[in-house]
Amino acid sequence: MPKPKRPETVAVSKSDKRHLLTYLEHADPNHIQVSLWDVRWRPTHGETRSASRLTFHIGVRFVQGEYQTCILVDSEEGELPVDDTVRNWGPSMPNLGEVLQYYQKLFGVQALKPLIRKQQPRRDDDDDNEEGGSSSRAWRKKIQKSNKPGYYYYYDEQEEYRECDEKGNDIYRSYKNSSPQGMTGKIGSQSSRGERRYEERRYGERGYGERGYGERASGERGYGGRAERGYGEREYTQTSQTTYHTDTKTGKIYYIDKYGKSHWA
């Protein structure tokens, strides 16, 4: 005789259904997780062991590009879905805590441990990718216009502010704090001849003159009677005219006095 075909689902008796309701009542949606979505049904774990006599779990699988869930029970035929509990969630991976909530509502169970929704700050360019009971966001470089004319910025994978050019090439390091006296940075590569670059130094923002490396400034000298120059920097001179600048991080306006000190406007 041919071997009987393994059933796809299994019915539970009225007495066994009481155990199913007990499982759903005690299951914790905040710790439920699964190690793998496969073509076979995989039981979840972490929602605590069932207080019932029978062993129930939320079952998950990924078939033909779609996510499916059910309630698995350990039967004589192995772990099988309970009748009328298989649900297709489509191509988007569902949150397992919300899946458990769905089955608790489906069977009219008042859960002893409600789902705690964690509010996480996010930006418009964040992509949610939820796996199990937790969520993670795939990083994507999104270049946005800065308040400083001709400049752009983005947030890196560590959510650090980065200033860049239109193509996303870094120009400055991220600011350490929002005070002009505390700004630090480095000069990026020039994309075209004669393009002006700024260096965020310890005493604020000053412009470079259009001179090559090693050339000395004629006429004016910086504060203290000598032109300041660091390693790999161009010479620059300080002008007597007050220039206002925008702190890119806070949006506040500040200026540099004739002694090289920065002040909020």
> Per the domain annotation, does 154 fall within a domain?
no
> Which tokens go with 205?
């923002």
> Per the domain annotation, does 128 fall within a domain?
no
Strands 56-63 and 42-43: antiparallel
Q: To 5 degrees, how large is the angle CA 55–CA 56–CA 61? A: 130
Tell me which of 86, 114, 142 is where a domain ends.
Answer: 114
Q: Is 176 found in the same domain as 260?
A: yes
> Per the domain annotation, does 105 fall within a domain?
yes
Q: Is 181 found in the same domain as 110?
A: no
- The shares of helix, strand and coil residues in the chain, as percent rounded to the nearest 5, are 10, 30, 60
- Residue 76, judged by CB atoms within 10 A of its CB (0-12, 13-18, 19+), counts as exposed
> Per the domain annotation, does 37 fall within a domain?
yes
Q: Is 20 found in the same domain as 107?
A: yes
Q: Is 109 found in the same domain as 18?
A: yes
Q: Which residues face 152 on adjacent strands?
A: 145, 164
Question: By three-state DSSP, how is residue 263 classified?
Answer: strand
DSSP assignment string, 17-73: HHHHHHHHHH--TTS-B-S---SS-EE-BSS---SSSS-EEEEEEEETTEEEEEEEE
93 contacts 55 by C-beta, under 8 angstroms:
no
Spell out the SS3 assignment of 136-178. EEECCCCCEECCCCCCEEEECCCCCEEEECCCCCEEECCCCCC
The pLDDT profile of the chain, 265 residues, written as one tens digit per residue, is 556 677 889 898 888 898 899 899 988 888 899 988 999 999 998 876 655 567 889 999 999 999 999 999 887 778 899 999 999 999 999 999 999 999 999 999 998 888 887 544 444 444 444 444 444 456 788 888 877 777 788 887 777 778 888 888 877 544 444 434 433 334 344 443 333 444 444 334 444 444 444 444 444 444 444 444 444 444 444 444 567 777 777 777 777 777 777 877 7
Full residue range of the structural domain in which residue 28 is found = 14-114
> Per the domain annotation, does 235 fall within a domain?
yes
DSSP state of 182: G
132 contacts 33 by C-beta, under 8 angstroms:
yes
Tell me which of 78, 95, 114 is where a domain ends.
Answer: 114
Number of domains composing the chain? 2
Q: Is 104 found in the same domain as 37?
A: yes
> Per the domain annotation, does 151 fall within a domain?
no
> Which tokens go with 60?
């998950």
Question: By three-state DSSP, how is residue 244 classified?
Answer: strand
Q: To 5 degrees, how large is the angle CA 85–CA 91–CA 97? A: 50
Q: Is 105 found in the same domain as 36?
A: yes
Q: Is 102 found in the same domain as 182?
A: no
Tell me which of 97, 114, 131 is where a domain ends.
Answer: 114
Q: Is 184 found in the same domain as 106?
A: no
- Residue 130: which residues within 8 A CB-CB, separation 6 or more? 93, 94, 95, 136
> Per the domain annotation, does 5 fall within a domain?
no
Q: Is 258 found in the same domain as 175?
A: yes
> Per the domain annotation, does 121 fall within a domain?
no
Nearest residue to 245 (alpha-carbon basis) of 160, 177, 147, 163: 147
